[in-house]
Amino acid sequence: MTALTPRSIKEDIDGLISDLIGKGICDDSNFSAIRTSGSKTDITFSGSEHVSIALGDIEYSEIYYELSDKRSYNMKLVDGALLQLMYRIEGGQLLQHRLAFYPSPNLLPFQDDPDAYIRDEMFIEIVQRRIVPFPLRFDFDAREGVYVDVVHPKSHLTLGDVKGCRIPITAPVTPRWFVEFVLRNFYQTETYDFVSGLPRHRIHFEESITDGERELMHMMIPYMVRT
DSSP string, 45-62: ETTGGGGGGGGSSS-HHH
The answer as to whether 66 is a domain residue is yes
**Rounded distance, CA 106 to CA 215, Å?**
38
* 190: in domain: yes
Q: What are phi and psi of 55, to 5 degrees?
A: -85, -10
The reply to whether 69 falls in a domain is: yes
Tell me what pLDDT residue 6 has.
Answer: 96
Name the residue range of residue 125's domain: 6-214
Q: Taking the C-alpha atoms of 22, 27, 28 and 29 in order, what is their torsion angle to the nearest 10 degrees?
A: -40
pLDDT at residue 227 in the model: 46
User: How many domains, the chain?
Assistant: 1
Radius of gyration of the chain (CA): 18
Beta bridge partners of 40: 37, 90
Does residue 187 lie within any of the structural domains?
Answer: yes
- Taking the chain (227 residues) in consecutive chunks of 10 residues, what is each chunk's mean pLDDT? 90 97 93 96 94 82 93 93 97 96 73 53 66 85 93 95 90 97 87 90 94 96 65
| Structural domain includes residue 220 | no
> What is the Cα–Cα distance from 165 to 169, expressed in whole angstroms?
12
pLDDT of residue 113: 52
Antiparallel, parallel or unpaired: β 26-29 and 75-77: antiparallel
pTM value is: 0.89
Strand partners, 85: 99
What's the distance, Cα to Cα, between the start and end of the chain in Å? 9
Give the bridge partners for 138, in sequence order.
99, 157
Q: What is the pLDDT of residue 206?
A: 93
d(CA 72, CA 152): 26
Quote the pLDDT of residue 186.
86
Between the alpha carbon of residue 72 and those of residues 65, 75, 83, 208, the distances in Å are: 10, 9, 9, 29
Distance, CA of 178 to CA of 17 (rounded, Å)? 12
Examine residue 224 and state whether it is found in any structural domain, yes or no: no
Q: Is residue 221 part of a domain?
A: no
**Residue 163 is assigned to a structural domain of this protein:** yes
Please name which of 181, 189, 21 lies closest in space to residue 121, comparing C-alpha atoms.
Answer: 189
Provide the residue count of the chain. Answer: 227
Cα angle value 49/41/147 (rounded, 5°): 80
